Amino acid sequence: MANHGYTGKILRLDMTHRKATAIETAPYRRWGGGHGMGASLFWDFCKDKTITDGRHPANVCCVMTSPLCGTIVPSAGGRCEVVGVGVGQYPISWFTRSSFGGRFSTMLKYAGWDGIVIEGRADSPVWIDIRDGHVIFHDAENLWGKDTWATQLDIRKLLRIKGGTKTHWQDLQALALSEKDESRGEDFGRTTQKPAILCIGPAGENQTCHAALIHDAGNGAGQGGFGAVWGSKNLKAISVLGTGGIKAHDPKALLQARMITKEKYVTSWETPDFGAWTRLGRLPNPIIQVPPPTSERRPQSCQGCINGCRARYNVGYGNESACQETSWYGPFVRKVAKTSAENTEINLKAADIVQRYGFNSFVFQTGLHWLEHLYEDGVLGPGRKIPSHLPWETIGTLDFAEKLVQALSTRTDIGADMADGWVQAALKWGREEDLHTGALQFSYWGVPEHGYDPRAELEWGYGSLMGDRDTNTHCFNYIFTNVSAAFAFGKPLRIRAEELVNLHAKKLSPYAKGRPEVLDYSDANMYSEAVAQIVRWQQHYCRFYKNSALYCDLKWPDFINTNLPDLEGATASPDAGEHVFWNAVTGDTLTFEDGIEIGRRIWNLDNAIWVLQGRHRDMVHFAPYIYKTKYNKGELFPFYMWPCRDDKGQWRYTDLMGRSMDKDKFEEWKTTFYRLEGWDTKTGWPKRSTLEKMDMGFVADALQAAGRLGEEES
């Protein structure tokens, strides 16, 4: 196998016996990288695929790179995928995924590894020290109990990495090594870089469902509770220093495509269009949810990014946090902050708190409102039905934020009940009704709704439910934000509804090419075959391009781009499309559609694992409130604008609020979806004929042996 883009080796960590071995990447090459490769490794190495809690010793957690990691592929070089059985979902914690950015995947590639497979459980805390091909297990007793930032700084000290940003070239051999290390004396390379460290904080050590993996100050893999998975394996951290490189198949083409991206698809610095409708083509700007604390700052990005979405400031807080973690506390801070500056400061310091505890703040997105209501209704608090001694009367203060996160990270106070899942806690507290009224808006698989309600933004909701988690996939979601913002703030609608859907339809190959109706989310079309096709397209696109090739979810796909006269974005383009970069790095000759097909294969492997875990179509339901109540309160805007066809077939931007989902019609939609996927419509299980067409007969064999293979239609 040509190793263009790949290192050729995957690191296998046997935590139980503290042993590191290398396995060949070649047998897993057909899965691309990232999620696909990780799912295949899980398939091979997880001996009990019926487990439904990621803290089970049989669970296998894979931390995976892609061939594009460590290269200049725009907004793809720095992502990293994590897979394994998760923690805290309801009713079953599925085989699931998360991802994070920064430098880790790049450094891992340069150290010579395409990924890491973590198996078993150490009998006491350890951290892993990877320097190029050398892997050392270190005792982590002195790191256990420390937050994620202290852990990383302590590991730097243990490695005797010099502080600051003007340090000499460091010969890896000169760094501190274990006395037991047998590699001493072998050749190491040189670097000026700090080690890239991925670690857990108290939330992970205590194996709570909201535990994240954290890297650097603000890169986190939140969903899935993989921090708890690491905690269960007594794995505190993995540190990587790499001095090698990644050979590209066609470096000239790679450089050229990158330059085209910058010069053609990204708005110019000289005459910037700050309101451009594009995902790839904007200038760097932090997507924090509060006004920046200062102009004394820089944009900060993952490796290889074309436009950084985070920032580092001179104020000493908020560095590298972005998006939801900067607003998890926002609605409550607004009640106490006296000034905008104070509002920003508390919110960004609250972001620092969740980063340090290694806590997935997204559970607070809708969850903290629920807890506050329980307190205000006299249900939760000192001496009440749900006892809590947290100072709820001070919610909105920084002090409360830390006390709350600490409790939930350490299984104290209400954290004791919530550590295994929020819906589980609701049931334990006798609050099942809250899932019917929508007081607890955890809409699919026991995880919170994302702000893009399933009753409005169909591909998000349907995709999450047909998958394993809140999809957190922003392929089409910018339509809502751009159009709604235009209506809300009187901004110009850069593209009319009909033109917008037609532009998308050009790039929705193969299932929905030339079919703009797939984006019609009107009441009349919301349960249609067309909507099933857009959900399929998104799942398959993401399983390969986003989750396996590791293109950034916030930058790709780039369907439309007002920086270009024809408004056509970079996605699937012949000069800087996703497949162009893939081929330049790997030497493959993929078409854009080939990538979608690999994604379909990966999606089928995922579904097979879910089926082995116990999935059946009868359990594939939204939370009851999605069917029983109407979507009437938006998180960002008082309306949810989306392109729809009216009674006369004319495309208009239309408000999707005010509707609920019809359960019977959604059941019919599920049947349509399963049929299109080639799955048994009675069970949702994959069929042999479908799997064998994708050269996945081995999956069909396993499903058949488990008695869970879909039936062929007679």
Residues between 83 and 102 with contacts to another protein, criterion CB under 8 A: 102
Pairwise CA distance, residues 648 & 123, whole Å: 68
551's tokens: 């293109």
Q: Does 185 bind another protein (CB under 8 A)?
A: no
Nearer to another protein among residue 238 and residue 530 (C-beta)? 238
Nearer to another protein among residue 320 and residue 459 (C-beta)? 320
Segment contacting another protein (CB under 8 A): 268-276, 333-341, 360-368, 620-628?
268-276
Segment contacting another protein (CB under 8 A): 103-111, 358-366, 557-565, 641-649?
103-111
Member of 57, 91, 145, 272 binding another protein (CB under 8 A): 272
List of E strands, 409-560: none
Residue 221 Cβ, how far from another protein at the closest point, in Å? 16
Q: How far is residue 68 CA from its own chain's centroid? A: 17
Q: What is the DSSP letter of 214?
A: E
DSSP 318-349: -TT--BGGGTTTHHHHHHH-SSHHHHHHHHHH
Residue 590 Cβ, how far from another protein at the closest point, in Å? 20
**Site residues for another protein, window 150-179 (CB under 8 A)?**
152-153, 163-169
Pairwise CA distance, residues 622 & 444, whole Å: 5
C-alpha gyration radius of the chain: 24
Place of tokens 């083409």: 253
Tell me, residue by residue from 51 to 90, as one string, x for binding to another protein by CB under 8 A and - for no binding.
-------------------xxx----xx------------
Nearer to another protein among residue 13 and residue 72 (C-beta)? 72
**Site residues for another protein, window 223-252 (CB under 8 A)?**
242-248, 251-252
In 380-417, which positions are buried (b, 16+ CB within 10 angstroms) versus exposed (e)? Answer: bbeeeebebebebeebbbbebbbbbbbbbbbbebbbeb
Place of tokens 């690191």: 11
Nearer to another protein among residue 268 and residue 689 (C-beta)? 268
Nearer to another protein among residue 78 and residue 86 (C-beta)? 78
Closest CA to 249 of 602, 590, 597: 590
Helical axes 529-541 vs 592-613, angle rounded to 10°: 100
Residue 373 Cβ, how far from another protein at the closest point, in Å? 36
Residue 463 buriedness (CB in 10 A; 0-12 / 13-18 / 19+)? buried
Pairwise CA distance, residues 70 & 477, whole Å: 28
Tell me, residue by residue from 461 to 480, as one string, x for binding to another protein by CB under 8 A and - for no binding.
--------------------
* Total residues in contact with another protein, by rule CB under 8 A: 74
Member of 179, 295, 489, 649 binding another protein (CB under 8 A): 295
Pairwise CA distance, residues 158 & 303, whole Å: 25
Nearer to another protein among residue 17 and residue 491 (C-beta)? 491
Q: Is the dihedral of CA 359, 362, 365, 370 positive or negative?
A: negative
Residue 340 buriedness (CB in 10 A; 0-12 / 13-18 / 19+)? exposed
Nearer to another protein among residue 245 and residue 387 (C-beta)? 245
Question: Angle at Cα 700 formed by Cα 697 and Cα 705, nearest 5°?
Answer: 130
Nearer to another protein among residue 190 and residue 630 (C-beta)? 190
Pairwise CA distance, residues 37 & 30, whole Å: 8
Member of 238, 254, 276, 512 binding another protein (CB under 8 A): 254
Member of 93, 191, 206, 586 binding another protein (CB under 8 A): 191
Residue 488 Cβ, how far from another protein at the closest point, in Å? 21
Q: Does 297 bind another protein (CB under 8 A)?
A: yes
Member of 44, 186, 296, 377 binding another protein (CB under 8 A): 296
Residue 239 Cβ, how far from another protein at the closest point, in Å? 13
Nearer to another protein among residue 441 and residue 583 (C-beta)? 583
**Site residues for another protein, window 194-223 (CB under 8 A)?**
194, 216-218
Nearer to another protein among residue 427 and residue 485 (C-beta)? 485
Residue 78 Cβ, how far from another protein at the closest point, in Å? 8
Tell me, residue by residue from 312 to 341, as one string, x for binding to another protein by CB under 8 A and - for no binding.
xxxxx--xx---------------------
Residue 528 Cβ, how far from another protein at the closest point, in Å? 41
Pairwise CA distance, residues 35 & 605, whole Å: 11
